[in-house]
Amino acid sequence: MSQDLMAMLEQAFDESTKLYQERGFQRRVGFGKKPALISVDLANAWTRPGNPFTCDQEKMDNEIIPGMQKLLEAFRASNLPVIHVTTAYEITDRDAPFTDMGLWHNKIPVDAVDLANEELWAIDSRIAPVKGEYTLLKKRASSFHGTELAGILRANDVDTILVTGVTACACVRQTICDGIADGFRPIAVKECIGDRVPGAVAWNLFDIDAKFGDVESVDRCIDYVNTIASTQS
């Protein structure tokens, strides 16, 4: 079923690409002078089985995590900023008169990610932060909305964000949309973005590439990071 769906999507994308390009979409935002790696919600509640937020485990284990490991190696070797983003809530009682979940719990089970259970929202140990890397706690889909992210990036002269993580249809997409709105060049790292629903990654990456950021392969992104490093040495 997934293969049939992908074949239909690819056919639809081919036709849509012609339409977009004829109308001036799918332009390139391009790589800038200084990148940061923004890893969105690659925490245990999303990367490991048994949680409502668990994503496609085959892609997670065989593409996303290995791709992230390669990216992290390049960023660390080049001494470039890495920001790990996760999501958790302090007041998870849906009947509480006040909660940091806001209204989102009326749509999705965010109450399953309790701040008191650090194992849930901790970054996956296979790509765990090292000294000098920042872990940002968000409450909404976007890594920018209501957080310190834009200020941190600007303070470190970052103009390009390489975005990875989950999910393609929500937190990754919203981060990219808010990123370009805030003046950063968003690059979606193709192999390092996942979701729970078949077809969601392919559709969202196609649409992001048409309107909000560039979709580039992990190898292309690593080449870019290495080029930045060589010019700084």
| Cβ–Cβ < 8 Å for 28, 107 | no
Count CB atoms within 10 A of the CB of residue 148: 12
**Measured between alpha carbons, how far is residue 19 from residues 25, 26, 202, 206 in Å?**
9, 10, 18, 13
What are the φ/ψ torsions at residue 2 (nearest 5 degrees)?
-65, -40
Residues in the chain: 233
* Residue 171 known to be catalytic: yes
What is the four-CA torsion angle of 48, 110, 145, 32, rounded to 10 degrees? Answer: 10
Compute how many other C-beta atoms are within 10 angstroms of the C-beta atom of residue 134. 14
Burial 158-188 (b: 16+ CB within 10 A, else e): bebbbbbbbbbbbbbbbbbbbbbeeebbbbb
Q: How far apart are CA 105 and CA 41, in angstroms?
A: 17
Q: Which of 55, 169, 171, 192 is catalytic?
A: 171
Six-digit token pair at 221? 């992104």
Active site residue ranges? 171
